[in-house]
Structure 1
Amino acid sequence: MPKLTTETALDILIHWLQDNIDCGTMIIFNNNEDNTDSTTLLPWIEQAFRDVRDLRHLQLLQQARTN
């Protein structure tokens, strides 16, 4: 079984949230006042994915520089 990385976990979450949106699933993640649903949460998770990917890239560049 492949190692579950942060990027892989976020990618799985992104696809799950997108499926919720596509199927019209009305899951509220916090409370009925803020109504944080999949549509609200998806852009934040996508940004987290990009940030983690960029950080991993910078780490690889730094590692290559020190080797």
Structure 2
Amino acid sequence: MPALTTEAAMDILIDWLQDNIDCGSELLVDNDEDKADSAALLPQQARNDVRDLRHLQLLRNANKL
């Protein structure tokens, strides 16, 4: 089984949150005061940032060879 990367874990989380949104789930993933639902927590920008960081690390490692 391949290692679970940060990016892969975020993809799993995003898929789960998106399923909640698509199903119209009233699931609150925070507390009742903040009303933080799946849509509010969808970390797409964070996933993009992690993907960019990983790409930059791969480029840096390739340049060291």
TM-score by length of 1: 0.90
Q: Who is 1:59 aligned against?
A: 57
State the 1:32 CA deviation. Answer: 0.9
In the alignment, structure 2 segments of 5+ residues that lack a partner are: none
- Which residue of structure 2 lines up, in the alignment, with residue 10 of structure 1? 10
The one-letter code of the counterpart of 1:61 is L
For structure 1, list consecutive stretches of 5 or more residues without a partner in the other structure: none
Moved over 6 A (4+): none
Query: Aligned to 2:45, which of 39, 44, 47?
Result: 47
Deviations 1:5-32 (A, max 9, x none): 1111100111100100111111112211
Give, in whole Å, the separation in 2 of the partners of 1:48 and 1:26. Answer: 23
Number of residue pairs the alignment of both structures matches: 65
Instruction: Flag the structure with higher helix content.
Output: 1
SS at match of 2:45: helix
Mean Cα deviation higher: 24-33 or 46-55: 24-33
Q: Paired residue for 1:33?
A: 33
Aligned Cα root-mean-square deviation (Å): 0.8
